[in-house]
Every structure is written in C-alpha cells, then in structure tokens.
Chain A
C-alpha cells in the first residue's frame, strides 16, 4: 500500500501544491486537507505547509492553531503519527504547543529568500531517518519570522535529547544555536523553516529535499502497518 500524506490547506497557505507534487513524485499518495474539517481522515502522515495561514494575523500561526483540523492533528501526533511543519507550518506547530519555542523575526531586519546549506544533525526523526548525519543539504528558505528562539531550559533539553534535527551551516536568520529544525520528544513531529518540497527536482536547482521527504514517506508507511 502506498503511504498517504495529508497536506493541510488554511486560507493563506501557498506551498500545499508544492508539497503534494513533491510527495507524488517520490511515489507517495498525497491529498489536500481543508483546515475547517475537524479530521485528518485516514492519512498516514500530515504536512503543515508554508504560506501565511489566516494572513498571519496577530502572529504567524496564532489563528491557525484554532482551526478545526488542528485538534485532529494534535490527536494524530499524540498517537505517534508523523507530522511535519514546514516554514509557516513550523510556526503553526509551535503556536499549537506541539513543538517548543517560537519563531521571532529574523536578525538583520530582512525577509530572506535564498538557498542555504543545512547539516543533518540526527537521523532519529521522521524527517531524517533516511538521511546521513553530517550530510549537507542545499534547501531554499523563504521567511521573515524564521529566527528560532526558546528558553535556555528548552534549549538544554533539545540538545540533551538529540532533538535538534537540522542546523544551518551559515546561520541566515540569527536562530539560537543555528537551529533550522527540531522534533518533539516522540520524534514524530518535526518543524523546520527551510522548504524541502522546493528542492525535489534538478530543474528547481536542488534535489536535496528528497531524502527528507522520502524519510517522511517511510515513516508514513510504517505508521500504516
């Protein structure tokens, strides 16, 4: 059976089709889930995509966390289902309390739209199980509030539990400890600012997002069993 990935569409999401296309190109099955439905259906993994959910009103992710689908996402994550939040999706997951910390505005006052090098820091997550620790991946970023921050206690926990999933080789936004992506305690919820779904075709300049999304499909297939 093909792993089935649900990609959530909020009003203002704009990366959901990129995620759907990338997952399908890797042999997975993908469908768009409407934020207003209080269910994730029978999917085996959930992607919270990038964009500006609910216009980023109040704060990025602040309104989206109250969308009806988010209760179902929390239940799905709580039962071990793989969940990945990309960019705005990472902001939504922190606001929803599924990941610790917050995303503050970039150091340097600029919206960043560029491609960066990411170092895989652990293979113990649903997004990096098939990636090699230490591997450097070229992946685009596209954000203004991408500067990850958290309390010193949370940072110590993330480090101690090997939950920093990806780090920037050269930190573009000032994030604490060069963090580009983290996971929860169960390692089944991952949030990252870079866009692996936009790095899955040579035509787009990089295929380095493939090992990440392939890992997610593997986790989804395992969740199905």
Chain B
C-alpha cells in the first residue's frame, strides 16, 4: 500500500536576545534590585523573549531552515537582536 511521505512535527523554542551593546533596561533594573533583596553575586542579567511553537517539515534540516527564515524576517530585528533556535521531534 502506498503511504504518503511522513511529515514530521518539531517542537521549536526561539530565544530572542539583544545583541551585545544594545540597551537592556529590564535586565539592568532586575540586576540593580538584586542586592536589595539579599541576592549577592549575581551579575550579567539580561532579559529576552522565549517564543515556542510547533513546526511541520520533512526533516530537521528543513524545519531549521524554515525557522531561521522566520527569525530573520519576523521574530527578530536583525539590527539589534539575535535568535537561538532549539528544535526537537514532537
């Protein structure tokens, strides 16, 4: 019996972070408040976005290509932001 080519489903996590040198007022404010709350020794706080979705594609390479394009065109502003993509089979 003929079977259609299986479409695979992937769970995707895109983490959007500000590029080095771009101001991060939320990160700065959180870091400044830490000593008041008694948390010492924490530094380098940055705040980004986590965007989760599922993606259907023939294989992991195709899924990654699609998500990279999505990041470039929509989910990030490449002038000031970077994206880190994590993919796993759903």
The chain A residues found within 8 Å of chain B, CB to CB, are 58-59, 62, 66, 94-95, 101-102, 104-107, 109, 147, 149-151, 174
Q: How many A-B residue pairs have CB under 8 A?
A: 32
B42 interfacial by beta-carbon distance below 8 Å = no
Minimum CB–CB distance from B85 to chain A (whole Å) comes to 16
- Chain B residues with a Cβ closer than 8 Å to the other chain, count: 12
Set of chain A residues within 8 Å of B77, measured between Cβ atoms:
59, 62, 95, 102
Which residue of B has the minimal Cβ distance to A154? B79
Contact A149 B79 (CB under 8 A): yes
Q: Which residues from chain B contact A66 at a C-beta distance below 8 Å?
A: 74
Further contacts, 8 of them, CB under 8 A, given A102-B77, A107-B23:
A62-B77, A104-B18, A104-B23, A105-B24, A147-B23, A150-B79, A151-B79, A174-B23
Q: Please indicate the chain A residues that have their CB under 8 angstroms from the CB of B28 in the complex.
A: 109
Residues on B with beta carbons closer than 8 Å to the beta carbon of A149: 22, 79-80
Q: What separation, in Å, do the CA atoms of A151 and B6 have in the docked complex? A: 44
**A102 surroundings in chain B (CB, below 8 A):** 77, 79-80
Question: 8 A–B contact pairs at CB < 8 A?
Answer: A58-B75, A62-B74, A62-B77, A104-B18, A104-B22, A105-B24, A109-B25, A149-B79
Q: Does B80 contact A104, Cβ atoms closer than 8 Å?
A: yes
CA distance A28 to B13 in the complex (A): 50
Q: In the complex, what's the smallest C-beta–C-beta distance from B81 to chain A, in angstroms?
A: 8
Q: Which residues of B contact A104 (CB under 8 A)?
A: 18, 22-23, 80
Chain A residues within 8 Å of B86, by CB: none
Q: Name the residue on B nearest A65 (C-beta).
A: B74
Bound Cα distance from A109 to B77, whole angstroms: 20
